Structure 1
């Protein structure tokens, strides 16, 4: 067992279980074979098979009728849903996401920074262009989204950006993959008070991101997404005005701001 923060020794079997679930979750709709999982995690096939069977019995992993393909199980969904339902900050933000969506008619998101990525916690879809797959629970590199850049800008002043080593991933031809260019953009974000992106995460879509400063540095942000084809200067000003107002309302409604005695999750 290896040492963890606070001098607590890591439990190897628990770490391996979490790593396995993370690998399966990251594959999306691509099921994995025993050999692939054993090789990726550096575990003997016999040990991996025993771990998979245990997790299948408990509903955290599922397998196909042949027993040769593995994917994430329904209990992972139940745990994720519980996270969203019991998070007081998500709960506080929901009515204001509805308000922003209704006022703008655009897609509105709430996301949280998790390492180098943002994870979507809530989405209100535009009536004009509905997605067939919900974004809730999905990850996007922070440097490639207005949400992420709004949160990275909160950390850029002291140089502690949670970005991966090596080249930054390009999601589109417009993604900022040069670190100097990203740093310059984050300086502009701090000056404006919000982040923008034009087709950096998704082709054809622009985004406006606003950090929620009920934590320092902020870990949550909201954004509005709009097709670039209908983004005019007047429309942009309207989006910024509405989202700025909604940000203020969410920050005021957050449990921290109300002194409600909510747990200080880390």
Structure 2
């Protein structure tokens, strides 16, 4: 029977007490997330293997996403994220309340310290960069908005995790804490001690745990309890001394108060 425009839409089918998922939509999202997390353009084979998709289904999805501008292809026929995805991500950041509240303070902090300032949010066991103000120095730290890193390997992530009970942190993190450098915490007991120290100290320090040659200082932004966002300042170790470190921590704590207000 033909359904008229004025007819109410049928209720989605339910399974297990929830709304039934749409497989094609799930696959589309999986492809977009897989491409956005890759550090290079991927071939059809890499996409099908990485996502365990049938070749025909993967090709049809990729072709549709190319035609609609969500992904692009290079001269070798490999796939990468496209301009429409960039526009969607940029729109998210532009309309995010925390980013809008923090941006002016981040700009001032960047000028005052001359170093790179980051704002990030916890997403699962990872942190996602929302905004970055790059250092004026030629030797500068750059992390693009949307970049994801393990929470346990960053000052930003540890500052956020420190605001949670250990049982919650333990469930949040993966079974194996993969290292990014030789300094990354991979032992749960050691990480728990580190988070307790962060709570006592009031700020987190990334001791080259994410990137060799880079030290990062971070404070959680207590918009919610527990916090979901953090602010940080990243500095190459060759440019860091005790006075600069003290100035950074003092400025971050002052900036946190201003942003939360």
- Structure 1 length-normalised TM: 0.87
Does 1:238 pair with 2:252? no
Q: Unaligned stretches of 5+ in structure 2?
A: 1-12
**CA shift digits 1:197-247 (9 cap, x unpaired):** 211111111111100001111111000111222322222221111110000
Q: Report what 2:128 is aligned to.
A: 119
Contact 2:116 2:140 in 1 (8 A): no
Runs ≥4 residues deviating over 4 A: 1-4, 130-134
The structure 1 residue matched to 2:74, chosen from 51, 60, 64, is 64
Within 5 A, what are the aligned runs for 1:190-209?
190-209=199-218
Larger Rg: 2
Aligned with residue 216 of structure 1, among 218, 225, 246: 225
Report the aligned-residue RMSD. Answer: 1.9
Per the TM alignment, residue 9 of structure 1 is displaced from its structure 2 partner at its CA by: 1.8
Alignment size in residue pairs: 248
Alignment CA distance shift 1:216-1:105 (3 Å): same
1:113 and 1:181 map into 2 onto residues whose CA distance is 21
Q: Give the 3-state SS of the residue equivalent to 1:32 in structure 2.
A: coil
The yes-or-no answer on 1:13 pairing with 2:24 is yes
Distance 1:87 1:57, change over 3 A: same
Matched, 1:150 2:159: yes
- CA deviation vs aligned residue, 1:158-196 (integer Å, no higher than 9, x gap): 433421122x12111111111111110000001111111
Residues 136-147 of structure 1 mapped to structure 2, 5 A cutoff: 136-147=145-156
The yes-or-no answer on 1:35 pairing with 2:52 is no
Secondary structure at the counterpart of residue 163 of structure 2: helix
Deviation at 1:128, TM superposition (A): 1.7
Return the TM-score normalized by structure 2: 0.89
